[in-house]
Structure 1
Amino acid sequence: MTNKTYIIAEAGVNHNGDIALAKQLVDAAVQAGADAVKFQTFKADLLVTKDTPKAGYQARNTGEDNGQYAMLKALELTEQQHVELHHYCQLQGIDFMSTPFDVKSMHFLLQFNMPFLKIPSGEVNNALLLWHAARTGLPIILSTGMATLADIEYALAVILYGRHNPKLPTGLTEIFKFRSTLLAQGVTLENIMLLHCTTQYPTPLSDVNLKAIPHLNSTFGLPVGYSDHSDSVLVPALAVANGAVCVEKHFTLSRSMKGPDHAASMEPDELKQMIKMIRETEVVQGRAIKFPQTYEFDTQQIARQRLVTRTPIKCGESFTCDNVTTARSPRGLSAIHYWDLINTHAERDYNEMDAICMIADQ
């Protein structure tokens, strides 16, 4: 990662299974200035059982509760549509990404040379998927919605195991024993980023918890990004101010469209505004050191207080609190030397409000 925040415009399933709509989402992401546009790759037959109900927000946003299977089946992209979308992203100059929800989908996506392999929050405990992801050697983004620190610890242990062991483990005991051996040898996780998020659509501002970003960074020693589900344009920029090196945000062409995620997604103009705010945040962050800008020195010359005479003073007379004051002046000693000057003697005659340029040797 560079100092530039990597911004992922999350199209997700907001294409509603329509390739033409998916391409319009790519166009919108490009126009907004995103670094990547991300979709979701899954097979409903592998992802859910047919009796799995919709999450509450999914039922509310679709206006029906016919179960996750039917909903997801209608939102699948075919393999050929993935190829077409990847090619379209290349033409438009934006990174193509897609989140795999099963091992088969993950291996299918490898042909596209994605910059990151994203593990969604719901798969943080999917040990087999985590192991296969680790074996690819690709940089991994691990989303942590719904996760405890222990959940993250387990997931990272599996990934570390997979990075360095081509054999499937026999269980968690072997995984953690292997991890202890690697850590003792100074081996640590590389090319992995955690993604803080709250899995609620939309997330109430009181539950966003941006302080978790530096907390995750200090706890695991890994770069941390932020996946935003709030309805605020400002929150992602605040996440960057709190140390997020990547921002992911769901977007749609219109929140009025029917589907599980449209209602909690940004529209194109909002996405563009969000990215502008993030880029401005990067600029204003500056460096972690206080120093005046070069142009401030010119202002300093006329804005700073200097030592001047309150009354006329003859050569040899003492400078006192009664005959010395401070004022803005283009010349003279800095007012910080006020007490150094008091009780010393004038080296020449001064008129009222003359600048005092030196302290005479006593």
Structure 2
Amino acid sequence: MLPMNRRRNEDTRMDAGGFAIAGRRIAADHAALVVAELGQNHNGSLSLAEQLIDAAAWAGADAIKLVKRDLDSELSREARSRRYDSRHAFGATYGEHRQALELSAYEHALLAARAWRHGLIYIETACDIASAAVLGELEVNAVKIASRDLKNLPLEYDEASRGKPVILSTGMAGLAEIDEAVDVVREAGPPFAVLQCTSLYPTPVGDVHLRSMVTLGSRYAVPVGFSDHTTGLLLAPVAVAMGAAIVEKHLTLDRSLKGTDHACSLEPDEFRQLVRQVRQVETALGRADKPVAEGVATVRAKLGRSLVTRVPLAAGTRIEEPMLVLKCPGDGLSWLDRQRVVGRRLKRDLAADEKLKLEDVF
């Protein structure tokens, strides 16, 4: 029996402008959902996983994501028994390696409760239908279809049919394959988003293709995002500037730890900086109606231009345009205002370079 620490389900209905995960709006016109991808950076340790969740909350993440596997369902006997000689191996065979990294369903439930206490959205990837059933009992806030399973349509349909919002990752697929996956999710009916991703760890910058994210948004008319496997902080904020509603980045406590994902992960202080940069980009994006910022009027008065006399003019002179020139400061009549004075007569004498005012003419 799993611990009864479930988070209340909230509205997840989808419309043309997006949908909600646990009440958090997922849309290009809303603050991006920043996901700390924990994956298996816990190295099979519940304590390390708890520390990662605490670090994600401290860093300002909106959500965390974990991975659940049932090895009997996921791996063939041949795959489980294959020798695994990687320097990142946690076992002599691939099956032993994977088993060492796996947390129990009970431990996943404890981690979900910890995330929710921090106010974090809890997302999981199920690697097989048996694990999807476990996550169904946990009542996770959303499920993510991993890039490797985009063509695993039976798993995809099973997860999408459970009613939770779905996040599709596309790191190993072209548009034709993504079309098939999107059709399956649409048939099942949950709200969903699609992430641009490249399944190389780390991803060379030239293989990121952020413009593909824009293509995915226009092609499927759903919110899009970016799952970032590059090193450094640059590209997630760039993706937000291009319309990402979700950005995901791996989090580790220490990049030098054993494990394949640690090297392309951010440490907590770096992740905190990433979140700040994302929020700064969102603030900088601002409004689309070209507002004039507060304080600009003072700058314009100092640096702008006003109509002044080009030469001395006597009272009674009929003003003609060649008599006027624009000079700083800009707190007087503008060039467009010349129509209000040209053709009218001066009430008083004006010296050269003297600012012209409406009350000077009749």
Q: Match for residue 174 of structure 2?
A: 148
Residue 14 (1) aligns with residue 41 (2): yes
CA distance in 2, matches of 1:251, 1:72: 20
Structure 1 residue 294: Cα displacement:
3.1
Equivalent residues in 2 for 1:285-296, closer than 5 Å: 285-296=285-296
Q: Match for residue 136 of structure 1?
A: 162
Q: Match for residue 208 of structure 1?
A: 208
Shift in CA distance, 243/60, structure 1 to aligned 2, threshold 3 Å: farther
Q: What TM-score results when the alignment is normalised by the length of structure 2?
A: 0.84
Structure 1 residue 70: Cα displacement:
3.0
Structure 1 residue 293: Cα displacement:
1.6
CA distance in 1, matches of 2:131, 2:223: 26
CA distance in 2, matches of 1:93, 1:304: 49
Task: Indicate the SS of the match to 2:56.
Answer: helix
Identity %: 34
CA distance in 1, matches of 2:293, 2:306: 21
Q: What amino acid maps onto 2:296 in structure 1?
A: E
Q: What amino acid maps onto 2:124 in structure 1?
A: S
Q: What amino acid maps onto 1:212 in structure 2?
A: S
Shift in CA distance, 64/22, structure 1 to aligned 2, threshold 3 Å: closer
Asked if the contact 2:305/2:330 (under 8 Å) is kept, the reply is no
Structure 1 residue 326: Cα displacement:
1.6
Residue 83 (1) aligns with residue 109 (2): yes
Q: What TM-score results when the alignment is normalised by the length of structure 1?
A: 0.84
Structure 1 residue 95: Cα displacement:
2.4
Q: Match for residue 259 of structure 1?
A: 259
Equivalent residues in 2 for 1:1-362, closer than 5 Å: 1=25, 3-52=30-79, 62=88, 68-163=94-189, 191-319=191-319, 323-329=323-329, 331-337=331-337, 345-358=345-358
CA distance in 2, matches of 1:6, 1:150: 27
Asked if the contact 1:100/1:119 (under 8 Å) is kept, the reply is yes
Structure 1 residue 10: Cα displacement:
0.7
Task: Indicate the SS of the match to 1:24.
Answer: helix
State the Cα deviation string for residues 104-131 of structure 1 (Å, max 9, x = none).
Answer: 1112112333221111111111111121
Structure 1 residue 302: Cα displacement:
3.0
State the Cα deviation string for residues 173-220 of structure 1 (Å, max 9, x = none).
Answer: xxxxxxxxxxxxxxxxx6110011110000011111111121111111
State the Cα deviation string for residues 43-94 of structure 1 (Å, max 9, x = none).
Answer: 122212243499xxx9766279966433212111111111221222233332
CA distance in 1, matches of 2:350, 2:80: 90
Asked if the contact 2:346/2:361 (under 8 Å) is kept, the reply is no
Asked if the contact 1:61/1:263 (under 8 Å) is kept, the reply is no
Structure 1 residue 345: Cα displacement:
4.6
Structure 1 residue 320: Cα displacement:
5.1
State the Cα deviation string for residues 248-267 of structure 1 (Å, max 9, x = none).
Answer: 11111111111121112111
CA distance in 1, matches of 2:294, 2:347: 34
CA distance in 2, matches of 1:64, 1:11: 18
Task: Indicate the SS of the match to 1:85.
Answer: helix
CA distance in 1, matches of 2:89, 2:69: 23
Q: What amino acid maps onto 1:262 in structure 2?
A: H
CA distance in 2, matches of 1:340, 1:5: 49
State the Cα deviation string for residues 14-51 of structure 1 (Å, max 9, x = none).
Answer: 11111111111111111101111111001122212243
Aligned residue pairs total 333
CA distance in 2, matches of 1:252, 1:88: 17
Asked if the contact 2:89/2:97 (under 8 Å) is kept, the reply is no
Asked if the contact 1:51/1:67 (under 8 Å) is kept, the reply is no
Q: What amino acid maps onto 2:164 in structure 1?
A: L
Shift in CA distance, 59/317, structure 1 to aligned 2, threshold 3 Å: farther
